[in-house]
Amino acid sequence: MTIRLRVNGVDRTVDADPEMPLLWALRDILGLTGTKYGCGQALCGACSVHLDGQVVRACVTPVRRAAGGAVTTIEGLSPDGNHPLQRAWMELGVPQCGFCQAGQLMTAAALLKAKPRPTDDEIDQSLAANLCRCGTYPRIRAAVRKAAGLPEK
Amino acid sequence: MLCAMRRVFVAVAIVAAVAVVMRAAMLEAKPTQVAQPTQPVTGARLRGPEAFAGIADPAERSRALFLEASRVLTHPRCINCHPAGDVPHQGMTLELHYPPVVRGPKDRGVVGVECAGCHQDRNLELARVPGAPSWHLAPIEMAWVGKSPRAICEQMQDPKRNGGKTLAQIVEHNAHDKLVAWGWEPGAGREPVPGTQEQFGRLVAAWVETGAKCPPEEARP
Ligand code: FES
Ligand code: FES
């Protein structure tokens, strides 16, 4: 089945089974490998992308759901890696192995878009389900606060 | 002589043992011969309203109908998403939802972790993520976890705690809502709620027709 969707601002067409996870379409068909496959069961958040502005876990999102929609992946978060979160991430050296970080950034970006100055509780609630096996949580939280113009603590 | 006595003793003992075993077998066999209505209602069984036609008093019948419907309402498949707090439950033992999520301002999660970020419009068999259209939590005023059938009965007909629904709308919701329907098709080897949605809808309709009476606080299905 031919599915049309907008990915990072560009109209794309994928020829795929409508039940194929969006993650497969992004990584294997469109070659956008920034989004990671962690668990495949919506348990870790490594595959988080935006679909029409909402965070979805691409590993469990059938590609049919994205038909006619707009998907943003880590590759499209900013044209030049200059999103305030990306800058804060670099300044604080957030990643360890990096595997979870695309998902962390996409979730944090959705949070800051909805709540430009989130409270600590809001940051915790929105990011609680994005796992980091390297335990970079304190740096992630600090970088979100920095990007939001809040004290890093 | 002693030897002969022992032989007789052993023979008597064997006959007695056989008699005991046969009697036990007969006793065990009995319940399966008992007529349908007195069989315990367990597991997937749900009685339709016709099973209560013998209760002459409409108010009594109404209470009995609701109690039967509460077999569905208090099942983990239903109450897991009617939490009394801000975190949904999962599984048959009401463990807290994993990954960690919260109800959020509109009962659909918070930005970044919304219900629909993972739950699709149908079950995902391979990833085992349950799904149905408009997957979300019941509002806190519709909390069912820890509630008795009577408490749920009172809540269900209180417009302040039932989403402003009339009783007719409650019947319609229970009989046809697609998210409610998920309880009977939960996927991935999960235990479904008893009966069918059609049967459940008829139970709720009959409960309303008989005056929507609530069972006593201590009554359990
Ligand atoms: S890979 Fe999608 S949530 Fe883990
Ligand atoms: S940096 Fe390694 S998993 Fe998060």
- Encode pLDDT of A76-98 as tens digits: 999 999 999 999 999 999 999 99
CA neighbours within 13 Å on the CB side: how many for B51?
19
Nearest Cα neighbor of A113 from A45, A46, A53 is: A53
Q: Is the dihedral of CA B25, B28, B30, B36 positive or negative?
A: negative
Looking at the predicted complex, does its ipTM rise above 0.85? yes
Mutate to test the interface with A, among B96, B110, B115 (most CBs of A within 10 A): B110
**Cα–Cα distance for residue pair B45/B40, rounded to 1 Å:** 9
Output the pLDDT for position A152: 86
- Ligand 2: nearest atom to the Cα of A46: 3
Looking at all shown ligands, the one closest to residue A133's CA atom is 2
Output the pLDDT for position A46: 98
Region A84-147: CATH code: 1.10.150.120
Whether A59 and chain B come into contact, CB under 8 Å, resolves to yes
Whether B43 and chain A come into contact, CB under 8 Å, resolves to no
Q: Is the dihedral of CA B29, B34, B38, B41 positive or negative?
A: positive
CA dihedral of B4, B6, B7, B12, whole degrees rounded to 10 = 130
- The conformation of residue A97, written as its DSSP 8-state character, comes to S
Alpha helix (H) ranges present in B34-177? 58-73, 76-79, 115-118, 149-156, 167-176
Nearest Cα neighbor of B160 from B183, B141, B186 is: B141
Checking if the pLDDT of A110 tops 90, the result is yes
Q: Where are the domains of chain A?
A: 2-76, 84-147
CA dihedral of A58, A67, B177, B71, whole degrees rounded to 10 = -20
**Cα–Cα distance for residue pair A10/A2, rounded to 1 Å:** 16
Output the pLDDT for position B11: 52
Q: What is the pLDDT along chain B (221 residues), one digit of tens a residue?
A: 445 555 544 454 554 554 444 444 444 444 444 444 444 445 568 999 999 999 999 999 999 999 999 999 999 999 999 999 999 999 999 999 999 999 999 999 999 999 999 999 999 999 999 999 999 999 999 999 999 999 999 999 999 999 999 999 999 999 999 999 999 999 999 999 999 999 999 999 999 999 999 999 999 99
Output the pLDDT for position A130: 98
Chain-chain contact of A41 with B128 (C-beta, under 8 angstroms): yes
Q: Give the whole-number percent of chain A exceeding pLDDT 90.
A: 99
Looking at all shown ligands, the one closest to residue A48's CA atom is 1
User: Which token pair is B19?
Assistant: 């008699």
Of residues A26 and B1, the one with the higher pLDDT is A26
Region A2-76: CATH code: 3.10.20.30
